[in-house]
Amino acid sequence: MTPPLRVTDLVKHFGPPGTPAAVDGLSFSVAPGSVTALLGGNGAGKTTTISMLLGLLVPTSGQIEVLGVDMVRNRYAALPRLNFSSPYVELPFRLTVEQNLGVYGRLYNLPRLAERIDELLEDLGLTALRKRPLGSLSAGQKTRAGLAKALINKPELLLLDEPTASLDPDTGDWVRSYLAAYRQKTGATLLLASHNMMEVERLADRVLMMRGGKLVDDDTPQGLIARYGRSTLEEVFLDIARQKDPA
């Protein structure tokens, strides 16, 4: 079976040759229906990697296959089957929540779009906010609207950057349950970048740990915790970020 995501020797240089690469020879593939967390400290290369996976940045070298499609050469064949959410990417702020979903839904040329929008608004607790301009929402409400946009085309591969940033603990917990249920129901594959280790322990089957653009560890959350002799993923993260090898 083709992995939904396969990355081989991926490199991205922003500076001239000789300067350090933002992504420096990354290789991994993920299994269908899995939840993989891409972790690393600030500047480790997570956002650069996700931008290349989405076809927004052209790699300096290496291969990216998304749902069996070569993203560098043929990304339009894969884009209808994936989606992305990030609290750092603003949706058009003068449009209402439902207008935003309408615009994105039409980009995907979805059948029965009005029904899909109603369903998502209901699922994400946004029905009462549907007529509100996006710019008037709180950060947490915007995050939920961003998630609705990311799910509009029922993506087989969902890339999430900090999916619960600026959500209160209760809403954050609700979004995590929602994502777990979405994966369960649809068999979708999720890749998430997060600084919330509790979230990663709860959602991810596997952790890819990056430092300096390279993959420095790859295991289940429990496997990492056991190997580093720690009791939480947060402690493992600190060990890796501070370059401590397993005991």
Ligand X SMILES: Nc1ncnc2c1ncn2[C@@H]1O[C@H](COP(=O)(O)OP(=O)(O)OP(=O)(O)O)[C@@H](O)[C@H]1O
- Which residue ranges make up the site for ligand X (CB under 6 A)? 14, 22, 40, 42-48
**Total residues belonging to the chain:** 247
How near is the Cβ of 44 to ligand X at its closest, in Å?
A: 4
CB of 50 to ligand X, least distance (A): 8
CB of 195 to ligand X, least distance (A): 7
- By beta-carbon proximity to ligand X, the closer residue of 26 and 188 is 26
Q: Which residue number, 156 or 199, has a Cβ lying nearer to ligand X?
A: 199
Residue 154 CB: number of other CB atoms within 10 A? 15
- Residue 37 CB, shortest distance to ligand X, in Å, is 13
Choice between 42 and 231, CB closer to ligand X: 42
Shortest distance in whole angstroms from residue 23 CB to ligand X:
7
Q: Which CB atom, from 40 or from 221, has the smaller least distance to ligand X?
A: 40
Using the minimum distance from each CB to ligand X, give the nearer residue, 120 or 197.
197
